[in-house]
A and B are shown apart, each in its own frame.
Chain A
Amino acid sequence: MVDFYLQLHPVVQGLLKGLAVILVIFPLGGLCSMAERKVSAWIQGRQGPNRAIVPWAAWIPVIGPFLQRIGLFHVMADGGKMLFKEDALPGHVNKFYFVLAPIVAMIPALTTVTTVPFGAYLDPSGQVIPIGLANVDIGLLAVFAVSSLGVYSLILAGWASNSKYPFLGGVRASAQLISYELSMALSVIPVFLWINEPGSEGTMSLSRTVAFQSQPGFWGGTWFIFLMPVSAFIFLIALFAETNRQPFDMPESESDLVGGFHTEYGAFKWGLFFVAEYAHMIIGSAVFTLLFLGGWNPLPWVSLADLMNWAHHAIGSPLVIHPLVVGLISIGIFLGKVILGIFFFMWVRWTVPRFRYDQVMELGWKKLLPLAIANLLAYAIGIAIIQK
């Protein structure tokens, strides 16, 4: 099986790998909508969706009722509804851009995955090799560049809908996303100043960030969230604004814009916007995990290699450090952190009320941007003194 895979043309191999990752991200987006309902229910002291069940699942003794209680079948019913509902095209819209917008929403959301490493394995010499679709030198820059194209879906949807509320949503989206991109980019520069120590080859690779957080010793093993808390804080706030999550969901803003940019959308086109939003959240919390939460390292000051070597000594079987086992464990740790990040997104959404638009702009330009610049200057001076 492995030999057959290695015989294939590199392009086919790349396509298969990309497809495998998309097959994880896309259902994860759907599952996020289930989690969103359950988390909101939990926070508001409700049960949440817990009724729908299909007969064959009800026959399974313990698992069936459990799946019913966590609302899994509601997700399937929702997906089925979105697929089979009439996909109405309003008469007053610009049809080309109206259809294009949900597609444009999905493409950047799924393309950014290519440069995000999501796990690692140990090669025979004990080196940690990252797993990802493309381990490029300019990793983070590529993520920023491609994900910044996602704003066009909101702008196009708002403009093509040719009615007031979507238009306002689109205009809000374009201004908001540009405003917060600056703070976001500035907040991560200290991280890359720190990992590009003198004498090393310059890089913006995300896997190198993780490698830097898994060194031995107290300072080597410290996750960057402890080393650069202000950077992490600014990045997190900008991430909320960039993914249009509450308290920053100005483009959507149900209470004053009906449904914002997607007011005129229904059925699967609407669904695509939502899967794209959740995909952006997944990528966003993956990048946050890589930059500030130690990537696939299980705990601060305990790296993946430490854990696997310890397990190898404790169990004694060479199977433990087999690349497949280590890879699965590291992907599991990484996904666990990403899911915690998504939970945090939801927690904030159901806790904090929405900002007004002028508050969003003031926070972005008058508070976050100066703070990000001051943070960058302070760390630039500090790093220059320490790494001299």
Chain B
Amino acid sequence: MGPFLFNLFAVFSVVCAAGVVLNKNAVNAALCLLLSLVGVAGLFVSLEAYLLAFLLLLVYAGAIVALFLFIVMLLDTKGDARPTLHKLPLLARVMAFALVGAGVGSFVVRGQLESPDLSRTPALGASLKLYAYQLFTTYLLPVQILGFLLLVAMLGVIVLSKKFDGLDDIK
């Protein structure tokens, strides 16, 4: 049952992720993203990382994709009005191919991760206490850096949206 569910959710989330990229309609793409996230949450459940699964649903599926949909609806983008791919600058193409190459390369070379200490893995996934402990000790620096990045992004958004203060039609 376990490996079967794992494979099912893995295929499901990859297919949905492909749907995000390939869909012309932005709302369809956002809903594919939602399904893909649900698939990843299913993967976490089959790995007994319940906390991560529900946090993923709560934060990403419940709030962030809803926000995406909100923006998509407000902007009312038409699928066929998007700029076509050949207008991409050369640098962006090179970067994209390099990233894809690096991703595929690392998958080929290190596709099988070293198995972690199994006696600790379920406890980390299932117990809130151990999870919180790890977050505030071993992984404190990455958490702080990510928090700082989010703060910078938020400040950027505030600065960008302040620009419209002088206009009369936008309040």
Contacts and interface: CB of A to CB of B under 8 A. Distances in A.
Contact of B70 (A141, A149, A174): A174
A159 interface: yes
Contact of A174 (B31, B69, B127): B69
Contacts of A151: 62, 66
A201 B132 CA distance: 12
Interface stretch (B50-58, B97-105, B154-162): B50-58
A252 B93 CA distance: 46
B61 interface: yes
Given A171-B73, A174-B69, A175-B70, A141 B54 contact: yes
A152 B34 contact: yes
Contacts of A137: 50, 126-128
Interface residues of B, number: 24
Interface string A142-178: 1011101101100100010000000100110011011
B66 A174 contact: yes
A171 B58 contact: no
B81 interface: no
Contacts of B57: 145-146, 148-149
Contacts, number: 76
B146 interface: no
Contacts of A177: 66
B66 A152 contact: yes
Interface string A185-214: 000000000001000011110000000000
A36 interface: no
Contact of B58 (A145, A159, A174, A175): A145
Given A167-B73, A171-B73, A171-B74, A148 B63 contact: yes
Interface string B105-137: 000000000000000000000111110100000
Contact of A203 (B27, B50, B128): B128
B67 interface: yes
Interface residues of A, number: 28
A151 B58 CA distance: 12
Contacts of A144: 54, 58, 62
Given A174-B69, A174-B70, A202-B132, A145 B62 contact: yes
Nearest to A154: B66
B54 A178 contact: no
B70 A136 contact: no
B62 A149 contact: yes
A340 interface: no
Contacts of B51: 138, 141
Contacts of B126: 137
Nearest to B50: A138
Interface string A239-279: 00000000000000000000000000000000000000000
Contacts of B63: 148, 178, 181
A141 B52 CA distance: 11
A54 to B, nearest CB: 44
Interface string B67-100: 1011001100000000000000000000000000
Given A167-B73, A170-B73, A202 B58 contact: no
B127 A202 contact: yes
A152 to B, nearest CB: 7
Contacts of A170: 73
Contacts of A146: 57
A136 B62 contact: no
Nearest to B62: A148
Contacts of B74: 171
**Which residue, A136, A145, A177, has most C-beta atoms of chain B within 10 A?**
A145
A202 B51 CA distance: 12
Nearest to A136: B50
Contacts of A203: 128
Given A136-B50, A141-B51, A145-B57, A202 B128 contact: yes
B55 A149 contact: no
Given A141-B51, A142-B54, A204-B128, A181 B70 contact: no
A22 B74 CA distance: 37
Interface in B24-57: 27, 31, 34, 50-51, 54-55, 57
A141 B58 contact: yes
Contact of B54 (A138, A171, A174, A201): A138
Nearest first, the 6 A-B pairs at minimum CB distance are A148-B62, A202-B129, A202-B128, A145-B57, A145-B58, A174-B70
Interface of B: 27, 31, 34, 50-51, 54-55, 57-58, 61-63, 66-67, 69-70, 73-74, 126-130, 132
19 contacts: A136-B50, A137-B50, A137-B127, A138-B51, A138-B128, A141-B51, A141-B54, A144-B62, A145-B55, A152-B31, A155-B66, A155-B69, A155-B70, A159-B27, A171-B73, A181-B62, A201-B129, A202-B128, A203-B128
